[in-house]
Every structure is written in C-alpha cells, then in structure tokens.
Amino acid sequence: MHTQANAFNSDAFNTSHNHEHCVNAALLSAKTLCRDRGQRLTPVRELVLRLIWQSHQPLGAYELLPQLAEAGFNSAPPTVYRALDFLQELGLIHRIASMNAFIGCSHPDEAHPNAFMICRECKSAAELDTAELKSALSAAAGALGFQIEQESVELMGLCQHCREAAK
Amino acid sequence: MHTQANAFNSDAFNTSHNHEHCVNAALLSAKTLCRDRGQRLTPVRELVLRLIWQSHQPLGAYELLPQLAEAGFNSAPPTVYRALDFLQELGLIHRIASMNAFIGCSHPDEAHPNAFMICRECKSAAELDTAELKSALSAAAGALGFQIEQESVELMGLCQHCREAAK
DNA sequence: GAATTGGCGTTATATTATAACAGTACACTT
DNA sequence: AAGTGTACTGTTATAATATAACGCCAATTC
Ligand SMILES: [Zn+2]
Ligand SMILES: [Zn+2]
Ligand SMILES: [Zn+2]
Ligand SMILES: [Zn+2]
C-alpha cells in the first residue's frame, strides 16, 4: 500500500511500491512550491525533476542528457546543469557529492541537512531522518568552536533489502 | 607550544603553531605505518603526503602537479592520482568529495569515519572527533535497517577563528 | 641471474562541469 | 496591442577532474 504520506518517508529502499505515485506527488509538490516562491517550473525543469524522481538511484547529469534528447529538448550539458542548479536551489533535489549525482528530495518544504544512506548493492539512496543527527553534529562541531552552516552526510553501506537478500 | 600529542588533535583551525612539526610527525608516522604493512613510501608518495600535510586547506590533485614538477618528478595526472590513491588506501589522507580535494589524516593508525569541518572563510578543514557522532549515525541509519560500512560527513561553516574575526 | 612484481613515465582519453553569447519566450507597463 | 525588460534556453567551446593503457625500469623473489 502506498499513500501520499509515505511518498515522503524516504523509504527508497522499499522498491515494492508504485513509484509513479511518489513521482506525481513530488511533481505536484514542486509546482506548489514554485508558485509560492514566484519561480517557474518550465518543461525542461519539470522533465529533469521527473527523471530524477523516477529513479531510486542517484542520477548523473550526463545520464539525463539522452533522455532530454528523446523528449525533444536540447541535450547539451548546460541545459541539464541549469535545470539541476535551479532544482537544487529550490531544495527539490540533492546532490550526492561522492557520486557526482542527483536525487529527489523527499521533503523539499522544510529546511534540512543533506543526509543520505546509499546502498552499495542496489545503488539506491534514501534520506536520513535528521532531527537527532543534526543536534549530534552541532554538538560535536560546536565543541570545537565550529558553526555549521551546511551539512553533507553520505553513508555507504547495505540497505535492509540487500542485507536480507545476501543472507 | 606544540607537542606531538596535539599534532594529531585535528585543530587545523588554530594556525598559530609551527606546522612543520605536524608535517614531520605525520611523515614519521606514515613511514612507520608503511613499514608495518609492507608498503613502500616512495619519493613521489612521500612528497605528495608532505605537500598535502603542509596545507591546512584541502588540495586538489591538479594543485599538486606543478609542485611535483618543481621537485623534478613527472607531473602528469596519473602520477599524482596514483600517489593519492595509495595514501588514501593506507588511511594517510582523506578525500573531501564536495571539494574534489585531499587532506592529511590526523590519526591514520585508527579506523574512523571520514568526518570534516570545512571553514568557508579560511577554507581550512579539520577532522571531527567522531566517537559519539558515529553512534548517532549508526542509530539513525540502523533504525531504517541500513548497515553503515563507510561514512562521509562534510560540514561547511565558520571556524572559531573566522567567527571571532568577523565580529 | 631469470622471473615476477610493483611503481613510474607517458600518451591518450573519459567524465564532469562551466563560460560566453545569441536568440526566444514570458511578464509587465503603458 | 505594442513596447520593453527579464528570465530562460540553444549553442559552441572549453575548463576541471579523473582514468585507461602500455611500456620501461627497479626491486624482490626464487
Ligand atoms: Zn531532502
Ligand atoms: Zn540495497
Ligand atoms: Zn582521519
Ligand atoms: Zn576559518
């Protein structure tokens, strides 16, 4: 079963759901967010967002290009990077620095750290719930006088699914 | 004052010390570690390690090339990347993915997560003490059935030094 | 000292990302 | 509706980061 509520619960590792629902919910939410902020979710941007959301695995910019071409858009790097920058600035996607790849944000309306679990087996990535994590980070850094402005947490490992499959 | 003990206390933000001591201690420690593991700290590798340690700021591979050339080594990318890979595998340096850059490890003898604070002002980076952090991460990820194998934490912000200077 | 291994030099190329400028669509004013 | 400015996109070129592949030499092993 799959409700809008859990479309945003970061459970990308559970692949046994109708992911099209997630994608549609994310697009709807993105449209609202853009309207609220006076930004335009143009066709290229919307397509890029859809393509990224369709994948549970972070996608590289150059993986998107052929799909843009297929949809009749210009498929030169600047096109996709511009869309990615826009989506990132609005908090609709995150960049996974260790992979040079991008993935949809599961709760773009609230400010939160960039924190992901990435499965080495299925390559899926899911956002980490970060209320407690954030305070642990602040405490650790604050003890050394460091004031955090932006977090990036990327945890590599095995998701539950792949762990069970490996047994 | 500056003892070997605090050469490894991660306080890269405190620039008011004789950093040459840190560098020498790191090189000495690297030599021991290599000998123990039957690895060779060749001249190129040693120079790369020294260059990286000399900087409190993470250095990119291509920043090292001219300095290798100056020292009479080949200065093509593969040379420096091979040295960097070697040093990384031995845990002597860390890669900061969000910056495509490398920095010396302040405690290469003990296994630990890749966790850094990076100052946006002075660009210095310092390792985070991670005993508690690690358990916070494991707890957060474990609650979702994710088994962490490798951590990467990169915190951007302002170090104490720059924070005080900004007042 | 022959064979094997590991490290380096070298050339070429892959991958990721941005600069710069021209044209086009949209939003806003009048 | 026409004019005007702005934001978005197309296009070409190039920068920045990283790796593949191969051959040579030096060290280690047998
Ligand atoms: Zn998010
Ligand atoms: Zn998995
Ligand atoms: Zn370290
Ligand atoms: Zn600073």
The mean pLDDT of B50-73, rounded to a whole number, is 96
- Are B148 and A157 a contacting pair at CB < 8 A? yes
* CA–CA separation, B24 and B29 (whole Å): 8
Cβ(B48)–Cβ(B12) below 8 Å: no
The mean pLDDT of B152-165, rounded to a whole number, is 96
B26 phi, psi to nearest 5 deg = -65, -40
Per-residue model confidence (pLDDT) at position B17 = 82
Q: Name the residue ranges covered by the structural domains of chain A.
A: 13-165
Nucleotide nearest to B41 (CA to C1'): C7
Angstroms from B166 CA to nearest CA on chain A: 13
Hey, is A16 helix, strand or coil? coil
Q: State which H helix or E strand residue B34 sits in.
A: helix B19-37
Q: Residue B127 pairs with which residues in a beta bridge?
A: B116
Residues from A in contact with B at Cβ < 8 Å = 10-11, 13, 97-98, 117, 119-120, 126, 128-130, 132-133, 136-137, 139-141, 143-160, 163
Question: C-alpha dihedral over B14, B19, B22, B25, to 10 degrees?
Answer: -160
The mean pLDDT of A126-140, rounded to a whole number, is 90
Confidence of residue B59 (pLDDT cuts 50, 70, 90): very high
Q: At what angle do helices A77-89 and A43-54 cross, to 10 degrees?
A: 80
Per-residue model confidence (pLDDT) at position B11 = 65
What is the A36 CA–ligand 1 centroid distance (Å)? 18
Which range (A8-22, A121-135, B29-43, B94-108) has the least confidence?
A: A8-22
Show the beta-strand stretches assigned E in chain A: 93-96, 101-104, 114-119, 125-127, 147-158
Gyration radius (Cα) of chain B, Å: 17
Per-residue model confidence (pLDDT) at position A18 = 86
Q: Which of B136, B139, B155 shows the shortest C-beta gap to A141? A: B155
Hey, is B150 helix, strand or coil? strand
Predicted structure pTM score: 0.92
> Residue B24: which of B59, B53, B67 has the closest Cα?
B53
Q: What nucleotides of chain C have any atom within 7 angstroms of a protein Cβ? A: 6-12, 15-20, 26-27
pLDDT at A109 exceeding the cut of 70: yes
Angstroms from B88 CA to nearest CA on chain A: 15
Confidence of residue B167 (pLDDT cuts 50, 70, 90): confident
Residue B7: CA count within 13 A, CB half-sphere: 19
> Which residue's C-alpha is at the least distance from the C1' of D17?
B100
Q: Does domain A13-165 have CATH number 1.10.150.50?
A: no
- List the Cα angle A129/A20/A17 in 5-degree steps: 65
